[in-house]
Every structure is written in structure tokens, then in C-alpha cells.
Structure 1
């Protein structure tokens, strides 16, 4: 996991680097992620309220995408580091594109705001 021990509040060169890395890894817009979380939470007969859609982590990523860097909390910073680490680790162990588990792998990453099929 990325080292966030020296980052506190909204200060530091490390925070700027983490902010940039997070926004490179999270390659879905807040609108796309919000729509994805609502889609994933929708059932045949019921649907969660938009603010309760998706996983807690996914909703937190969505909130971070809607913030300015100066408004980040320590919890936001920790989650940003965790998302960067998770996405990088998942890419190291990615299933083959034609493997049956590829769709589930992609959907898990999309819940964090990362669509592995997008370039860059």
C-alpha cells in the first residue's frame, strides 16, 4: 500500500503525488461511477437509493471525485492510497481477456472507478 504516514490533512508533496496518481488510476468520471454503482445495485424488482448504491468504498471514491484536493480528510487520503494499491495489484494478477472471470474482475475494478478496458 502507498505510504501515507507523512501525509496529514491537505499538505505535502506526497499528497499532490497521491492525488495525481489516484486521478490517473480512477479513470471513470464521477457521473460514470455514480451510474455504475446504481446499475450494480439495481435488482429486478427493487433499487437502492442513489446515495446508498454500490459498495461503501465505491461511494467514498465517488465523494472524493467530487472534492477539491484542499477538502480531503485523512480517511479520504487513506482510501485514495488503498485504491491506487488495489488497482495496481489487480492489474498484476489480471485474468486473460477471454477468461470466464474477466468480466467479474473488470466489474470489481469499476466499483472503485477504474475501467481496465480504457487506455491510459
Structure 2
């Protein structure tokens, strides 16, 4: 992965993740956060919740210290946020929806 590709991924990641590390950490500690998402067989933590913890770590890492795996995860986050956000939330209570909660686990609050 060359520097231009890393810069593009980082820029897209910063656009997609609109929650601060502190906001995301606080969110991940809630029951609502732990109550949404898909969990792999044999695991107890949902994929999105686990991703949220990794996003916090990435956001707190200096850009020069990010690894190829970090960039791969950043790309995954961007893809998830874009796909899931396009689906749109429920019309009746978007604020308290599983759709919003799932996106927030991935660092994106669609109501911001």
C-alpha cells in the first residue's frame, strides 16, 4: 500500500467516523451498544462492538504508527458506514433505532 492510498483511506475514515474516541468509548459502555449487531459463533461480542474498540485504538494512534492491518480495518469501517447509512433508519424513531445504534458501534452517529 503506497502513501497516496494510505492518505485516501485515512481521509475517508475521518469522514466516516464522526464520533470522538471519548464519545465512542462512552457509547460502547452502554447496554444499547452491546445489544445490537451480529455475533460470530463461539464469540460473545458483536462484530460492530469489537470494531468500535479497534476504532478507538486507531483514532488514538499516531498516523505514522498505523499498520497495514489498521488501514485494512479503516477501509472496512468506511465500507460498512457507507453501506449501512444508505439503508436509512426507521421513520418512526430513528434516534432510538437499532440502525443508529449499529452505526454508532462503528463510530458514526447518523444524527450528527
What's the CA shift for 1:55? 2.2
* Bigger Rg, structure 1 or 2: 1
Contact preservation (8 Å) 2:103, 2:109: yes
Provide the secondary structure at the position in 2 that maps to 1:116: coil
What's the CA shift for 1:34? 0.5
Residue segments in structure 2 that go unaligned for 5+ positions in a row: 35-44
Tell me which residue corresponds to 1:13: 4
Contact preservation (8 Å) 2:85, 2:103: no
- Correspondences of 1:45-60 after superposition (within 5 Å): 55-60=49-54
> Structure 1 length as normaliser, TM-score?
0.73
Judged with a 3 Å threshold, the aligned counterparts in structure 2 of structure 1 residues 36 and 99 are, in CA distance, closer, same or farther, namely closer
- Correspondences of 1:34-73 after superposition (within 5 Å): 34-40=25-31, 55-73=49-67
What's the CA shift for 1:99? 5.8
> Structure 2 length as normaliser, TM-score?
0.77
Equivalent pairs, count? 99
CA distance in 1, matches of 2:28, 2:22: 10
Tell me which residue corresponds to 2:38: none
| Greater helix proportion | 2
CA distance in 2, matches of 1:59, 1:77: 15
CA distance in 2, matches of 1:97, 1:15: 37
